[in-house]
Structure 1
Amino acid sequence: MTMRRDVHDELRARLQEAAGAHEPDRERILARIERGMAEEARPERRAARPPVFGWLRVAGATAAVAGVLAVGGWAVASAVKEDTAQRTVATSPTPTPPPTPTSTPPSAPASTPSEEDGPLWSDGSVDPHSNEFWAQSNVTLKTGRHLTALEVELTVAQTGGVTSTGAWRSLPEDDFALTVAERDGFLVYTWRLRDGRTVPPGEWVFAGQYDHARGGRDAKDDGYSATARAGDEEFSVAGDFAPRS
């Protein structure tokens, strides 16, 4: 009885697993198996046939069910494959959209013609990163000789709301003394080379930064000057900034 119960449970588990793959035949298959198991359980059957034939019967039924499920699964897969093939349609390649034209970046504000005196050359310009609330004015100097003295002055006209937010130079900070003051309607930045320091040949930038009233500020009244000494000679340059276009 224990063997049959185990066989019965195992067969039921296998049939349930197989039926999960082919749902439409599950009820019919289980009904057939139940009828077969009921016949095995009758007393006259047990007296007429040895237990071994009952096991073979169950094994045969299992094999038959597996065959039915395999054939059914193959048929379903074939039908799905055929249906998929019939529904496949040709598609044309997606057209490539034309490239989006890029806008030309704004050019930097124009600077005034540079000034030159001996080995000293200069130029003044408004930095291109300036905006409608803030600006930076650059004084660029070039020197072909070592300078033993140098003073650079930048004047920014008070056009409304002009307030210093800082200053910098490309030469070492400790080599210069910086003062920022308001004088006669201008914000004035002054860089003075400290005693004992020198400026090597090259190109150097002195920049003043400031807030201003909202809107594009016109730098036409701004200016700069620089005086320098190389050996026993003195040189000076001065210039202004291009008006707003």
Structure 2
Amino acid sequence: MSEEHLRQQLREAADAHRPDRARMLARVERGMHERPAADEPERRPAVGWVRIAGITAGVVGALAVGGFAVGSALRPDPAPRQQQVAVSPTQTPPQAGNPLWADGSVDPGSNAYWAQSNVTFKTNSQLTGLTVELRVAQTGKVNSTGHWRSLPADDFTESVTERDGFLVYRWVLRPGRSVPVGEHVFAGQYNHAEGGRDAGADDYVVTGRTRDGQRVSVDGDFAEK
């Protein structure tokens, strides 16, 4: 049963209920004309009046309570409380004249045996060329366990090689594909020797080309800022 249907039934019940006024007045009138029996003390009529008054008050009270219940049910629902929701601030895109911004960081989900290095970059121009290279220093037992990027996999050729003491992850945008304006992530995953690994020697470079042919590049490392 819907809320609106319930309200309609309560309204109809309230309108249909009318106290039998004539019957109540007749009962009061009979009480006024009753005479006490000869062997009964004169205080009996007072008791009768108290009883009648009690009955009348009870009826009136019941009607009042019933009216309050119906009125409460028919009263419109209070307006819902407004709620404030905290929203995380959006990250500021690169400023005009600086098409690329990038940052390197070790993922917080890394542990004493395994790690993930993230290269996050933003571009305020569509790119028709892009190469991302992540170099992880061979600090002991470093070997690749995978990699991923937030852009479509089919748009890139990917490779992982070992060169000059580094594990090198490389992503190259395929011809005819493009990188949209926004923030993008490229990540390399690897095992390493037990313990806290020092990422101070790791680095990255992001090189791109805008639609008008401008070449842009940004690089950095993973040292604590």
Whether TM exceeds 0.5 here: the answer is yes
Cα RMSD for the two superposed structures: 1.8
1:131 partnered with 2:111? yes
Residue number among 218, 221, 224 corresponding to 1:240 in the alignment? 221
Q: CA separation in 1, counterparts of 2:97 and 2:141?
A: 35
Q: How much does 1:242 deviate?
A: 1.8
Alignment of 1:137-156 (within 5 A): 137-156=117-136
In the aligned structure 1, how far is the partner of 2:215 from the partner of 2:98?
9
AA in 2 matched with 1:201: V
Residue segments in structure 1 that go unaligned for 5+ positions in a row: 1-113
Is 1:197 the counterpart of 2:177 in the alignment?
A: yes
User: Do the aligned partners of residues 183 and 117 (structure 1) sit closer, same or farther apart at CA in structure 2, a change above 3 Å counting?
Assistant: farther
Q: 1:172 aligns with which of 152, 162, 166?
A: 152
> What is the one-letter code of the residue matched to 1:135?
A
Contact 1:117–1:237 (8 Å) recurs in 2:
no
Number of aligned pairs? Answer: 130
Deviations 1:126-170 (A, max 9, x none): 000000000000000100010000000000000000000000000
Supply the distance in 2 between the matched residues of 1:174 and 1:133 (Cα, whole angstroms): 30
Deviation at residue 117 of structure 1 after TM alignment: 7.4
> Whose helix proportion is higher, 1 or 2?
1
Divergent runs of 4+, >3 A:
none
- 2:187 equivalent among 207, 226, 233: 207
Identical residues among aligned pairs (%): 65
**TM-score of the superposed pair, with normalisation by structure 1:** 0.51
Q: Unmatched 5+ residue regions in structure 2?
A: 1-93
